[in-house]
Amino acid sequence: MKISKLHPIMQLATAATLALGLGVAAQAEEGAKLIVNGEIEMVTRTAAPAYIDGLDEIISGWEFRSTETQALQMDDFDNSGMLGVDSALEAWNKVQGPEQKSCATCHGDVESMKGVRTVMPKFNEEANDLWTLEDYINNCRTERQNVEAWGYTGGSMTNMAALIAVQSRGMPMNVAIDGPAAPFWEAGKELYYARTGVLELSCASCHEQSYGLHIRADHLSQGQINGFPAYRLKNAKLNGIHARFKGCVRDTKAETYKPGGPEFHALELYVASRGNGLTVEGPSVRN
């Protein structure tokens, strides 16, 4: 174990786990393949993009989970995240607001969203800003449907993000980091390596330098976001990317950035780019 590389607090935690000698969640066998419903083949491990210096190989969070948790994502009926997808499909077809429009009024069948998730977040020329999937959804609500924006990390929003993600399942993530997106990417990269909180941990401390090791009884993943929204066993609901970021930063014992704010937008682009080549899994199942 590469304990010497870890922060003292994490050394302590790791040592405690070792001392206990039990309570270590079983990590599934290497080489396990994620095929959803017996038909959608996922890329859970591939070469890292050239612009990522700290990793040779990128690995989906699915590979870090126990056999039982992995199984929950292999069949849509066993994946409780699909409850949120079902609920969002109703919202997709619901005519509402003064314009009397549903999502379907403009976009037709939700299958028209195929591929959308793979390029999010992306630079929006008109807004001259980096937009996430959530931004596009809320823009439709406020500008086209003339109804109230959803809370950025609220249930309706996260369910809709999952419905849209489902249309791209099995397609590789492919966010653009050049051109007008470049400054956002650079800002995101800076945040990724910035240590925060009392524990002085950066994203990289856990997810680049220590993935595969234990944090208490859990396996650290690479923190990839190709599986979002993620149905977490912990809170039994779908969780969005910024909500997860917030949890991570909070766990370093820091004041977090605001979900939907510019810092997490930039971070989302950078983290998404670290997973370019992994397939869209949303809604994934994680612990």
Partner 1 sequence: MASGVKPRVKVPKTAAAGETITIKTLISHKMESGQRKDSDGNLIPQSIINTFTCDFNGQNVISVELHGAISTNPYFQFEATVPESGDFTFTWNDDDGSTYTDTKSIAVS
Partner 2 sequence: MNFTRRDALVIGAGAFTAALLPIQAFASLADDAEAAFTGGAATTDGGIELTAPEIAENGNTVPVAVSAPGAVSIILIAAGNPNPDVATFNFGPLSGSQSASTRIRLAGTQDVVAIAKMADGSFARAASTVKVTIGGCGG
Return the residue of 8, 29, 53, 77 that touches partner 1, per CB under 8 A. 77
Q: Does 287 bind partner 2 (CB under 8 A)?
A: yes
Tell me which residues in 220-239 interact with partner 2 (CB under 8 A): 220-221, 223, 232-236
Q: Does 26 bind partner 2 (CB under 8 A)?
A: yes
Joined together, the tokens standing for residue 271 give: 């983290």
Judge whether 169 and 117 are in contact, CB under 8 Å. no
Q: Does 2 bind partner 2 (CB under 8 A)?
A: no
One character per residue 219-238, x = contact with partner 1 (rule: CB under 8 A)? -----------------xx-
Q: How far is CA 142 from CA 91, 94, 258, in A?
A: 15, 15, 21
**Is the omega angle on the peptide bond into residue 172 within 30 degrees of 0, that is, cis?**
no
Query: What's the min distance (Å) between Cβ of 65 and partner 2?
Result: 7
Q: Which residue has the tokens 């499909």?
A: 89
Query: What's the min distance (Å) between Cβ of 67 and partner 2?
Result: 8
Q: Report the distance separating Cα 34 and Cα 42, nearest Å.
A: 6
Backbone angles phi, psi at 117, to 5 degrees: -60, -30
Binding partner of residue 82 among partner 2, partner 1, none, CB cut-off 5 to 8 Å per kind: partner 1
Q: Which of 247, 217, 287, 225 is nearest to 59 (CA)?
A: 225
In eight-state DSSP terms, residue 40 is: E
Return the residue of 6, 28, 82, 225 that touches partner 1, per CB under 8 A. 82
- DSSP assignment of 165-226 equals HHTTTTSBP----SGGGHHHHHHHHHHHH--BTTTTB-HHHHHTTSTTSEETTEE------T
Nearer to partner 1 (CB atom), residue 78 or residue 109: 78
Q: Does 22 bind partner 1 (CB under 8 A)?
A: no
Strand partners, 131: 122
Q: Does 109 bind partner 1 (CB under 8 A)?
A: no
Q: Does 106 bind partner 2 (CB under 8 A)?
A: no
State yes or no: is 248 an active-site residue: yes
| From 103, 140, 203, 248, active-site residue | 248
* Residues at the site binding partner 2, with contacts judged by CB under 8 A: 13, 20, 22-26, 61, 64-66, 68-69, 71-72, 206, 214-218, 220-221, 223, 232-236, 244, 247-248, 250-251, 286-287
The residues carrying an active-site annotation are 248
Q: Which residues bind partner 1 (CB under 8 A)?
A: 77-78, 80, 82-83, 86-87, 236-237
